[in-house]
Structure 1
Amino acid sequence: MTHRFKTFGLAAGLLLSSAPVAVLVPAAPAVAQQRQSITLEDIWAKGTFAAKQVQGFNWMRDGRYYSSLDKGEVVQHDVTTGQATQTLVSAQQLRPAGSQQPIAVEGYEFNADEQKMLFSTDVEPIYRRSSKANYYVYDRAGQKLVPLSAGGKQSYATFSPDGRRVAFMRNNNLFVVDLQTMQETPITTDGQVNKLIHGGGDWVYEEEFEVSKAFQWSPDSKQVAFISFDESRVPEYNMQEWGPLYPKDYRYKYPKAGEPNSVVSVSVYDVAAGRTAKMDIGPETDQYIPRILWTQTPNLLSIQRMNRLQNKLEILHADATTGKSSVAWADTDKAYVEVTDDLRYLKNGKQFIISSERNGYRHLYLFDMKGKLVKQLTQGNWDVSEFLGIDEAKGLAYYLSAEASPFERHLYRVDLKGKGKQRLGESGGGTDVVNMSPDFRYYLNYHTAANEPVTVSLRTAQDGKAVKVLEDNAALKQRMKDYGFVPQEFFSFKTSEGVQLNGTTIKPANMEAGKKYPVLMFLYGGPGSQKVLDKWNSVDYYTWFQMLAQQGYVVAIVDNRGTGGRGAAFKKATYGQLGKLETIDQGEAAKYLGAQPWADKARIGIFGWSFGGYLSALAVTKNADLFKVGISVAPVTTWRYYDSIYTERFLKTPQENPSGYDDNSPVQFANQLKGKLLLVHGTGDDNVHFQNSVAFTDALVKANKDFQQLYYPNRNHSIYGGNTRLHLFRQMTNFLQQNL
């Protein structure tokens, strides 16, 4: 359920009224007749509306070229023209010894001098971000392909900065391979499943801190820093895997709110000496180490330390040889501090840049190595959404922000004195995602808007001008016209409490004056999330919403309090009582939408997944009079069942805040259900356990409430694979047609 937990501040001067207004997207012209009809098969079986991307993109070290995957081959392109210049590795060169077939490349990277490459194949997902694969090392000069290791699949294989070695994790232990001899040396040997992990995150770190790979090469390639997770005290969760005559048990460590977490330690391995030193992270064991990062100073490791309540984040600087550490910087908040990847150390060895919400919006700050503020680099009533890095030769910091509008994200740069701020790229709305070249001369820009699929362009960092459009999805844009896609329309309104909420709608084409239409509200609503954005949404929901609009439904999305785009105060308003204000706001949104001349207020439904599933279940019980139907997919139904890091960040522990856990649990309000409910869950959900829907089902049965339920055997939190999504969305469509 994790998000990057960024907020994007409301731009000063943005005019928002209490009536629906299209603040970003012009209304579509009237269509004389319905175009081709969108089908579920178009969305889930045929890929009719899938957007094209640029696959396997990698910047090359000299700044003149980049590479990409093309039909299993690695092709080099000229940065200045975007034209292919040569095939670096052909498919035939990727045949293992004794095989007539090349490996199926799923990922690749170069070493430092780009003479060796790592290829991954047979990738096997574990959880959301973790995986293991067969890695191969390819020598470009000798045109030789060899397995990285013969000991089984590996995880997170990574070249050393000098390109002479590769470190990886296997079976909870760390290893390093010398590429000249292909000799494999274990860094650790005592790793054990469900007990001790070296170099890889445990389940909750992976899900909530986005830590899967938990080791880092030092810049001089002499040392490997790694995090170890002692899971021995963490309770196990047991899922049954259905299929055989006797179902199998799958057990893994999952710390629910208030339960013991892994005890974490940080160590540094000296490659030449074969010696490991433990870093001093303090005497407290009930804490988090969400990040480690080598500084630009030799032998100096940066360690981020956070207390269990997550309202204090510290940076420790540790001597990698002795392990001695000291606190260099700290950030505190009355609610919580978010972990990001925004920390960068300057090559001068004297300063670092990090982001903070200490003034109510996320901004970039320059500090010296002792934590003394040198300069606040960005400021204003808006947030930096991502820090992309520093061009130290020119003294420029690059970042994405919502300065233009809370609905948008664009690329900016500013100098290290906090001056000369400049927006790069084209003017106008939409959302940009940026991949900067290592030398900060060029960047790859992925631009979308609410009604425009992605355009991928190569641009210069000097002025943001386009060098070449690599993918414009022209065919998809024409297909959208052929199928009569209607535009999203953005609006805002004020609730009875005077809270301004933003939303967007997708309406049927050629709506008839005086006719009342059913409304389906879609929501996620979790802390720091944002669904109301001038951004192309995924095929999953957006195209289904277009299909529903063709069938006569209005689809509406409203971001409640607690979501991003409005600053820290708006986002953290829900602290300590998840579900309370969110449900109030979604109820206010239902009233507002129901009062529109085109809406049938007696036919309003609500649909959400994960946190959205939680809120939809809460909405149809606590606000039962407002919603005729609800679809709740993979919901949390009591926060007591969810993981420690996410839940305690927003609610403290259940021991400290029991009412925060129970007062807004759908289980407590099952007896208030009046409308129709469809409850959906995968039995193999390692994230939001099926246990949540079991508890809600039990409460609904005890309350003698009728409802419909779908469970998908062995499917995880995303509920996909084969015909699964097609089947699920057919059931949801049928449910709406029959009940809304």
Structure 2
Amino acid sequence: MKKIFLPIFLCVAVAAHSQPSEPLQYKDIQALNSMNKRVIGIRPSGDGSHYTVQEGNTIIQYDYAGKSEGELLFRTPETSFQIVDYQFSPDGKQLLIANGATPIYRHSYTTAYYLQNENGIRPILSDLPGTRDASFSPDGRMIAFSSGNNLFLYDIAADSVRQITHDGAWNEVINGTTDWVYEEECAFTKAYAFSPDGRKIAFLRFDESEVPLFEMMRFDGELYNKAHSFKYPKAGDTNSTVDLFVYDLQSGQTERIDVGPDRGQYVLHPAWTPDGHLYFERMNRKQNHFEVVLCNRDGSQQVIYDERSPKYVDHLSKTFYFLPDGKRFIVREETSAGYMHLYLYSLDKGLLNPITQGPWEVTDFVGVRGNKVYYTSTEGSPLHRTLYRINLNGKYKERLTPDDGFYKISPSADLSYYIAESSTNTTPSRTEIFDANGKSVRILEQNAELREYLRQNELIAPREFFSFTTERGDTLSAYMVKPLDFDPTHRYPVLLTQYSGPGSQQVVDRWGLDWEDALVSHGYIVVCVDPRGTGFQGETFKKLTYGNLGAMEVDDQLSMARYMARQSYVDPDRIGIYGWSYGGFMALGCALKGEGLFKMAIAVAPVTSWRYYDSIYTENFNGLPQDYPQGYDDNSPINFAHLLDDQKTRLIIIHGTADDNVHFQNTIEMTRALNKEGKQYDMMVYPDQNHSMLPDHSGHVREKMLQYTLENL
């Protein structure tokens, strides 16, 4: 792995255990981040004893127990080759590699596929345009993939392609992959699944012909700009109609599966039980009724799980897992006890027992080994993620991770081992292999070089975590970062950094540096608070903001600003706020309703009206527009443009014109309202950049925000 060093001026300008003689710039933060080494592309091998990683443009196989040196499995055949993903066939004898990526939306991309097996390495599917979302069949004989909104099968031995669907068309019909809003909000793009015996493949079909068309302008340095058109359902508008089909590889016949009479519902995650029964998830448009439906071989159907809530159920992402026996399954849900927990169900008897219980949240289901369930949770603290195991009957719980911190777990195929990546806000990433009992096997990466550098050169101030109680009596989690040479007799400017979106969490004990850390070295205090409506503190707290996004959250951020203004070490006339996306929506709301409390506000890619945002996210947390119009209009910054005190608050709005997520329309309509009211403000526009200011300017925008804060706060 290539070693990357900090810029020479930074290395020599910093004295040990002292404030840097020169404040940090964003490029220094980038350099520190580049020193934080991580193990990339971990894939467990099917034998349970090995795993693979991507090291540069090679793929290396290692033994979990460390009994042998790594084995080189793949090296790129040419310098222009770029591995963006890879997967092994179930028997581990074939390797499918994605070379290069052409983005479609935030998570989706087309790529060129290469197959490596006993016959060597060769490109496949090269005659078809826009191939994507490829995967092996369970027997390793076939590869399913999508091209041109149609689903195909590639026969490896015959080197031939079979087309399963023929009606796919851009902005009309999608087979086997998801539409824009499913991709963004339901966290999956591959919308097909092989049966365990490889004889059938279930897939979703999206008819988006009635979904409103959105046109996003592309400039690309051309003489004439062009409109990029795609289907984007905004709140209250028509969604895709989703159907489920099963294709039989032997007969070539396609069967339509009955998903129910509600044509406006969401159909999610088609899958198969270990013993070969198809099942799928469905949720109504209001997202307050979730079901899992099992398809029996006689053609009948059985609802095996049903969950309802007065507000919404949290099942957009995968939360449903079958056990190997095919008769029992585990569900992660929060409505039963008010906290996200694991429950064991049976096809015949329904709920058998809760697996986990308590006033804390299960954050991830890791897997099952024998009768032991492995999961991560906030049991020790909402700031942390810790690994536990417990019996399926909910007894004999054990904590496995040795230290506090934020853990991400990658299990082996049979969970005889797991790889744990951990960090805290003061310690960079550490990657370690443990056996099933939590005994350390070996350390893969502990970032000794970066840790020693940070120890010798005091550059990054730690987060100080605390609880904060608002004037209304609500207790919120927060952190504060003070300059390393903090003097309590001095008065400091303060920047509130926040996201504040439903179910989110910013106040965590995890390593991560951004432009705000450079700001601290310039003599600023940075503060972050998770307001009401954020996550990992129980269902009641999370759903307080339902149907009224932006009301309580703005109140809580204003409370934090007033609290900071009362501190003896804070300059009350120099308080600012920053946010991106939902955080940009919040920064605008606070700037407009703050009555001059904020000297500066930075809103990046902000939502300015929830009527402009997508159906699934907005309706999930804000209800349908016809049911909760106050949540769409009462808190829209557009309707409060007249409140901006531009003599006291310096406002900048930053947006990319190719933002397919939060459309540039939001900023256009916000500036229209500000102009109408005669308000002064600043803007920074990034042509052809998406919601993350990619592909070119994610660093430039942070440099801009740092300089803007230094000049205006």
TM-score (norm 1): 0.91
Deviation of 1:370 (Å): 4.4
The reply to whether residue 162 of structure 1 matches residue 148 of structure 2 is no
2:241 matches 1:236:
no
Q: 1:416 aligns with which of 382, 392, 397?
A: 392
Moved more, 661-670 or 109-118: 109-118
Match of 2:309 among 309, 312, 333: 333
Aligned match for 1:51, one of 27, 32, 36: 36
Counterpart check, 1:61 vs 2:34: no
Partner secondary structure for residue 55 of structure 1? coil
Q: Report whether the alignment pairs 1:692 with 2:666.
A: yes
Following superposition, the deviation at residue 592 of structure 1 comes to: 1.1
Aligned to 1:118: 96
Question: Per the alignment, in what secondary structure is the counterpart of residue 473 of structure 2?
Answer: coil
Distance 1:33 1:47 in 2: 16
Distance in 1 (alpha carbons) for counterparts of 2:100 and 2:458: 37
Match of 2:9 in 1: none
Matched, 1:510 2:485: yes
- Secondary structure of the 2:630 match is helix
Preserved CA contact (<8 Å) 1:36 1:483 = no
TM-superposed CA distance for 1:64, in Å, is: 2.1
CA offset at residue 510 of structure 1? 1.8
Amino acid at match of 1:379: Q
1:435 aligns with 2:410: yes
Q: CA-to-partner distance for each residue in 1:700-737, whole Å, 9 max, x for gaps?
A: 11111110011110100001333x23332232222212
Deviation above 6 Å: which 4+ runs of structure 1? none
Does the Cα contact within 8 Å between 2:24 and 2:522 map onto a contact in 1?
A: no
Aligned twin of 1:384: 362
User: How do residues 14-53 of structure 1 correspond to structure 2 at under 5 angstroms?
Assistant: 31-34=17-20, 37-44=23-30, 46=31, 49-53=34-38
Classify the secondary structure of the residue corresponding to 2:215.
strand
Tell me which residue corresponds to 1:143.
120
1:593 alignment partner AA: M
Report the Cα distance in structure 2 between the residues aligned to 1:83 and 1:623, rounded to whole angstroms: 62
Matched residues in 2 for 1:30 and 1:381: separation? Answer: 43
Aligned to 1:74: 59
Any idea what the Cα deviations from partners look like across 1:266-304, whole Å, max 9, x if unmatched?
Answer: 011111111111111111101101221211232x11110
Q: Find the counterpart in structure 2 of residue 344 from structure 1.
A: 321
Which residue is equivalent to 1:725?
698
Structure 1 residues 373 and 48, CA, compared in 2 at 3 Å: closer, same or farther? closer
Aligned residue in 1 for 2:165: 188
Structure 2 CA distance, aligned partners of 1:167 and 1:670? 51
Q: Does 1:485 align with 2:470?
A: no
Identify the range of structure 1 (472-481 vs 321-330) with the bigger mean alpha-carbon deviation: 321-330
Deviation per CA, 1:123-156: give whole Å up to 9, x if none.
21211111110001111x2324242442123111
Please say if 1:616 is aligned against 2:587.
yes
CA distance in 1, matches of 2:75, 2:464: 47
**Aligned partner (choices 85, 92, 95) of residue 107 of structure 1:** 85
The one-letter code sitting in structure 1 at the alignment partner of 2:389 is: R
CA-to-aligned-CA distance 1:216-252 (integer Å, 9 cap, x gap): 1111111111011000000010011012111011000
Using the TM superposition, give the Cα deviation of residue 483 of structure 1 relative to its aligned residue in structure 2, in angstroms.
Answer: 5.1
Work out which of the residue numbers 239, 252, 272 in structure 1 matches 2:250. 272
- Tell me if structure 2 keeps the 8 A contact 1:231–1:262: yes
Q: Counterpart of 1:475?
A: 449
Q: Is the 8 A contact 1:104 1:121 kept in 2?
A: yes
Where 1:452 maps in the other structure, the secondary structure is coil
8 Å Cα contact 2:47/2:413 also seen in 1: no
Q: Give the 3 Å change call, closer, same or farther, for CA 437–400 of structure 1 in structure 2.
A: same
Deviation at 1:83, TM superposition (A): 5.1
Once the two structures are TM-superposed, the CA of residue 322 in structure 1 deviates from its matched residue by 6.7
* Amino acid of the structure 1 residue aligned with 2:641: A
> Is 1:649 aligned with 2:624?
no
Query: What is the CA distance between 1:502 and its match in structure 2?
Result: 1.1
Contact conserved, 1:504 with 1:558, CA < 8 A, in 2?
yes
User: SS at the partner of 1:617?
Assistant: helix
1:382–1:401 Cα contact (<8 Å) kept: yes
**Aligned residue for 1:4?**
none
| Aligned counterpart, 2:520 | 549
What is the alpha-carbon distance in structure 2 between the residues aligned to residue 147 and residue 517 of structure 1?
A: 60
Aligned partner letter, 1:709: M
CA contact (8 A) 1:240 1:684 kept: yes
Gapped runs of 5+ residues in structure 1?
1-28, 96-100
Aligned to 2:5: none
Q: Which amino acid is the alignment partner of residue 445 of structure 1?
A: A
Task: Quote the residue 1:8 is aligned against.
Answer: none
CA contact 2:291–2:306 (8 Å) conserved in 1: yes
Aligned identity (percent) is 40
- Taking the TM superposition and a 5 Å limit, the aligned residue runs for 1:177-576 are 177-242=154-219, 243-298=221-276, 300-319=277-296, 324-339=300-315, 340-358=317-335, 359-370=337-348, 372-391=350-369, 394-427=370-403, 429-462=404-437, 464-481=438-455, 482=457, 484-537=459-512, 539=513, 541=514, 544-576=515-547
Deviates more, 1:650-659 or 1:273-282: 650-659
Contact 1:190 1:196 in 2 (8 A): yes
Displacement after TM superposition at 1:33 (Å)? 4.6
Equivalent residue, structure 2, for 1:681: 655
d(CA) in 1 for partners of 2:53 and 2:690? Answer: 31
Q: In the alignment, residue 179 of structure 1 is paired with which amino acid?
A: I
- Contact in 1 for aligned 2:17/2:458 (Cα 8 Å): no
Q: Give, in whole Å, the separation in 1 of the partners of 2:17 and 2:74.
A: 50
- Note the C-alpha offset of 1:32: 4.4
Instruction: Give the whole-Å Cα distance in 2 for the aligned partners of 1:70 and 1:494.
Output: 47
Q: Which segment drifts farther, 664-673 or 649-658?
A: 649-658
> Are the equivalent residues in 2 in contact too, given 1:277–1:323 (CA < 8 A)?
no
* Alpha-carbon distance between aligned partners in 2 of 1:493 and 1:143, rounded to the nearest angstrom: 61
Q: Which residue of 2 aligns with 1:174?
A: 151
- The 1:433–1:718 alpha-carbon spacing in structure 2 relative to 1, beyond 3 Å, is same
Q: CA distance change for structure 1 residues 477 and 82 in 2, over 3 Å: closer, same or farther? A: farther
Q: What letter corresponds to residue 655 of structure 2 in structure 1?
A: H
The answer to whether the Cα contact below 8 Å between 1:407 and 1:565 also exists between their aligned partners in 2 is no
Q: Structure 2 regions of 5+ residues with no counterpart?
A: 1-14
- Offset at 1:371? 6.3
> What is aligned with 1:584?
555
AA at the equivalent of 1:111: S
Q: Secondary structure at the match of 1:535?
A: coil
How much has 1:49 moved relative to structure 2?
Answer: 4.5
SS at match of 1:293: strand
Q: What is the TM-score normalised by the length of structure 2?
A: 0.94
CA distance in 1, matches of 2:662, 2:18: 46
Cα distance change, pair 432–186 in 1 and its aligned pair in 2 (3 A): same
* Matching residue within 619, 628, 632 for 1:661: 632
Instruction: Tell me the CA shift for residue 48 of structure 1.
Output: 5.7
Q: Distance in 2 between the 1:486 and 1:498 partners? A: 30
SS of equivalent to 1:84: coil
